[in-house]
Amino acid sequence: MFLLADDFWQIKATREKGLGVFAKKEICAGIIIGDYLGKVIKTADYDLDRDKKGLFLMYFTDQASIYPNLKKPGIHLLNHSCTPNCWIYIYCGHSLFFALRKINPGEELTISYLLSPKDETCNPCTHICKCSSKHCTGTMHLSRDKYEKWQKFQNNQKKKSKKIKVVFGKNLQKLTSYPKTIPDNPIYSLIANI
Ligand SMILES: [Zn+2]
Ligand SMILES: [Zn+2]
């Protein structure tokens, strides 16, 4: 779900990555783009190989994931980039997307899918990155070094975040309130190459 007002973003077709989300107005650093809402499903029950529509599964707890409603526009439409301008912030167990830096009108909003380092379980790997940034690694998988740094940081974040009730099969509901902006942290620019 977008938390950014409708006149700030639009959904357009990209050249190689299907649909994408683009800024219509300038978006300031730290501004929240949206909350990743959807159905709470058991991660173990989900067959990743059969899902040809894209990478839409979002981590919720160690057993649960969020699967968004693909019929509605939402922040699940943000494409992956090796130099993303948005990042994920865990708030009350929810994954909020926020602007890492100022985003100019016309720019595509991007995120890192933060895929674990490529190993034999991802074979054949279809996670080819076409972000065309100068830091593009050609893959959506993070390097082991960056992935481990990110995991460590996120585990600390999770400890600080409120415990969340998991109800499988139910839709994750919008929170009653959201922070106005997300504070910067050096780890973001380290992993985001900005
Ligand atoms: Zn892969
Ligand atoms: Zn890339």
Q: What is the mean pLDDT of residues 99-123?
A: 94
Distance 159 CA to ligand 2 centre (A): 30
Confidence of residue 76 (pLDDT cuts 50, 70, 90): very high
Residue 86 has pLDDT above 70, yes or no: yes
pLDDT for res 158: 81
Q: What is the mean pLDDT of residues 101-111?
A: 97
Q: Which of 41-55, 85-99, 170-184 shows the lowest mean pLDDT across its residues?
A: 41-55
pLDDT for res 52: 63
Confidence of residue 130 (pLDDT cuts 50, 70, 90): very high
Residue 105 has which token pair?
């009108």
Distance 118 CA to ligand 1 centre (A): 6
Nearest listed ligand to the Cα of residue 135: 2
CATH fold for the domain made of 6-172: Beta-clip-like (2.170.270)
Nearest listed ligand to the Cα of residue 81: 2
Domain boundaries, the chain: 6-172
Q: Calculate the average pLDDT of the chain.
A: 92
Distance 113 CA to ligand 2 centre (A): 11
